[in-house]
Amino acid sequence: MDFWPNTLISPITTSAVKVFPQAFPWLTVAILALLLWTGLGQLTLWATRRLEGAPGKYSKTNPNHPWRYFLARLLRQTHTLTLLLVALDIALLLTPLIQLHLPLPWRKALKLVLGVIVLLQAGFWGRSIWFFSLQQYINSKTEPKDRVMLKTLEGPAAFVGQILVWTVVLLGILQLFGINIATLVTGLGIGGIAVALAVQNILGDLFAAFAIAVDKPFVVGDSIAVGTFEGTVEHIGLKTTRLKSINGEQLVFANSDLLGSRVKNYRPLKERRHVMLVLIDYETPQDLLVHIPGWMQAVVEAVPQCRFERAFLKKLGEYGLEYELVFFVTSPEFIDFTHCQQAVNLGILAALHTNNVELAHPAPTASRAAVAASVSD
d(CA 20, CA 26): 10
Please report whether residue 99 resides in a domain.
yes
Looking at residue 340, what is its pLDDT?
Answer: 93
Looking at residue 342, what is its pLDDT?
Answer: 94
Neighbours of 148 (CB within 10 A): 16
d(CA 68, CA 70): 5
d(CA 237, CA 240): 5
Last residue of a domain, one of 265, 293, 316: 265
Looking at residue 187, what is its pLDDT?
Answer: 64
Taking alpha carbons only, the member of 237, 232, 252 closest to residue 335 is 232
| 3-class secondary-structure state, position 76 | helix
Are residues 107 and 57 part of one domain? Answer: yes
Are residues 155 and 134 part of one domain? Answer: yes
d(CA 232, CA 223): 4
Neighbours of 52 (CB within 10 A): 20
CB 341 within 8 A of CB 303: no
d(CA 125, CA 144): 30
Looking at residue 3, what is its pLDDT?
Answer: 47
Q: What domain count does the chain have? A: 3
Please report whether residue 14 resides in a domain.
no
Looking at residue 274, what is its pLDDT?
Answer: 92
CB 203 within 8 A of CB 210: no
Last residue of a domain, one of 244, 265, 286: 265
Amino acid occupying residue 33: A
Positions of the chain with pLDDT lower than 50, given as ranges? 1-4, 6, 8-21, 54-61, 63, 97-98, 365-377
H/E stretch holding 141: none
Are residues 37 and 164 part of one domain? Answer: yes
Are residues 29 and 156 part of one domain? Answer: yes
Are residues 74 and 118 part of one domain? Answer: yes
Are residues 114 and 31 part of one domain? Answer: yes
Are residues 215 and 293 part of one domain? Answer: no
CB 70 within 8 A of CB 139: no
Angle at alpha carbon of residue 189, lines to 184 and 193, rounded to 5°: 150
**Strand order in 240-245's β-sheet?**
250-254, 240-245, 229-236, 223-226, 263-265
Please report whether residue 104 resides in a domain.
yes
Neighbours of 318 (CB within 10 A): 12
Range of the domain at 123: 21-178
Are residues 137 and 239 part of one domain? Answer: no
CB 66 within 8 A of CB 101: no
Last residue of a domain, one of 219, 235, 265: 265
The CATH number for 227's domain is 2.30.30.60
Are residues 86 and 138 part of one domain? Answer: yes
Are residues 128 and 102 part of one domain? Answer: yes
Give the model confidence (pLDDT) of 325-377 as tens digits: 999 999 888 788 899 999 999 999 999 999 999 998 776 544 444 433 443 34
Beta bridge partners of 322: 279, 315
Please report whether residue 247 resides in a domain.
yes
CB 282 within 8 A of CB 365: yes
Looking at residue 122, what is its pLDDT?
Answer: 85
